[in-house]
A = this chain, B = another copy of it.
Amino acid sequence: MRRLALLATALFAACAHAAPPATRIPPSALEAAAQLRERALADDTGWKVTESLTTEVGPRLAGSEADARAVAWAQAKFRELGFDRVWTEPVTFPRWERRSESAAVLGPHAQPLAVTALGGSPGGTVEAEVVRFPDLAALEAAPEGALAGKIAFVDLRMRAARDGSGYRDGGAVRSRGPSLAIRKGAAGFLMRSAGTDSHRVPHTGITRFDEGLSPVPSAALSNPDADQLARLLARGPVRVRLALDCGWGGQYTSHNVIGEITGRSRPEEVVLLGAHLDSWDLGTGAVDDAAGIGITMAAARLLKQMPQRPARSIRVVAYANEEQGLVGGKAYAERHAAEAARHILAAESDFGAGRIYAFNTGAPEHARAATQQIAQALAPLGIEYAPGKGGPGPDIGPLSARGVTWAWLAQDGSDYFHLHHTADDTLDKIDPAALAQNVAAWAVFAWLAAEAEGDFGSAAKAAPP
């Protein structure tokens, strides 16, 4: 009776809304997921992969010599882990290189300042008086020409938060600050790092200069150096020498590296697990994003080892050059736009190595129940269902814009911006147990998505304007 009633309800819902049939995950898949979860927690493949990438390749700036080594490493690692298909797809972009960087206070309080060039900054040496602004709004409010020949210093302290929400404002200083400063006449740009630590390791990251502006040397100070500069400015005028040797030069072709576990019954449909292979050059990119590479590779490998492999294919994409503008993510979306409907769900692990605390998908109503079923299978890992929250990871954004439904496995990022884009982003910062919890969550999620009866709403869309 109960079954009949449920069936009637489902049929009614389907007719009333002309919606596709409700997607459900079969009980046998849920049972297998419980075993998979325990097996994953005891597996150290995620750690080993992360250790291998950060140690053997080390820093891997897009377009650097290490970029090619990372691509070779990823292909070899996919094969070593038993992926059925391994291939690459070219991704071309302009090369930016950091050669040297320094800054110093001049005059009676002469002392060095720890700085790092923002990605995309031109080289050059500027000696000028510094003008401090507490935030972007204050810089924006400065009169035209007020900064003629001066160095603008935006001194916004970024707030730490589990969900990384402080990065919205901190990141905006980096992306919008230099152009705003140039419009006011500035000859150079300094910012307090978009970071939450208290170490002399400034945070880099890409910036962009608006069309028609002449870029100026732009760099970030570590938090203690921003404190110091602010204290000196409180005493009177301060002149600083900022010397950057860096800049754009030539085109480079890297590759998205893709490994796939072939599905047993619907091999042409894929669950996409993404992470990015490149890193900034200052650290070894452990939390950004070797951890993501380790988590997704290890999760997919566990699915190949299931008594029966997943119905759909599991595709792990190690994206090229996320850091300088989601270049790999855009290239993948472009190339695979016509196959959007065959990407059942896509998610990226790119927020460090902290434990996952929430799950959701961007699926429409007919797949909410299946989303909730996945969340229930994740609950023993300390993960809650978070309807109405989340979104696609950075490299999944372009794919999502082309109609692929995203899934969201939210990591605790309380410490992420202590390390993000700094020299301190190294392997020792990763807790192997937290990494294994991630692998378990991704394995369970990918397995259930691959086993689901019905879709999650992916359907090809025209390219956004």
Contacts and interface: CB of A to CB of B under 8 A. Distances in A.
Interface of A: 51, 55-59, 65-66, 69, 105, 108-112, 114, 198-201, 223-224, 227-228, 231-232, 235, 283-284, 422-424, 426-429
Contact of A111 (B58, B111, B235, B424): B58
B224 A424 contact: yes
8 contacts: A56-B108, A57-B109, A58-B109, A58-B111, A114-B423, A200-B422, A200-B423, A223-B428
Contacts of A228: 55, 58, 284, 426-427
A101 to B, nearest CB: 13
Contacts of A232: 55-56
B427 A227 contact: yes
Contacts of A112: 59
8 pairs of A and B residues whose beta carbons are closest in the complex:
A58-B111, A200-B423, A224-B426, A55-B231, A199-B199, A198-B428, A224-B428, A56-B109
A200 B198 contact: no
Contacts of A426: 200, 224, 227-228
Contacts of A109: 55-58
Contacts of A283: 200
A139 to B, nearest CB: 24
Contact of A110 (B66, B224, B429): B66
B201 A201 contact: yes
Contacts of A422: 200
Nearest to A59: B111
A59 B224 CA distance: 13
B65 A110 contact: yes
Given A224-B424, A232-B55, A429 B198 contact: yes
Nearest to A234: B55
A111 B65 CA distance: 10
Given A56-B235, A235-B56, A111 B284 contact: yes
A16 to B, nearest CB: 59
A344 to B, nearest CB: 38
Contact of A231 (B51, B200, B224): B51
Nearest to A426: B224
A55 B284 CA distance: 32
Contacts of A223: 428
A201 B224 CA distance: 13
Most buried by B among A109, A111, A423: A111
A75 B31 CA distance: 77
Contacts of A227: 426-428
A424 B422 CA distance: 14
Nearest to A227: B428
A99 B51 CA distance: 34
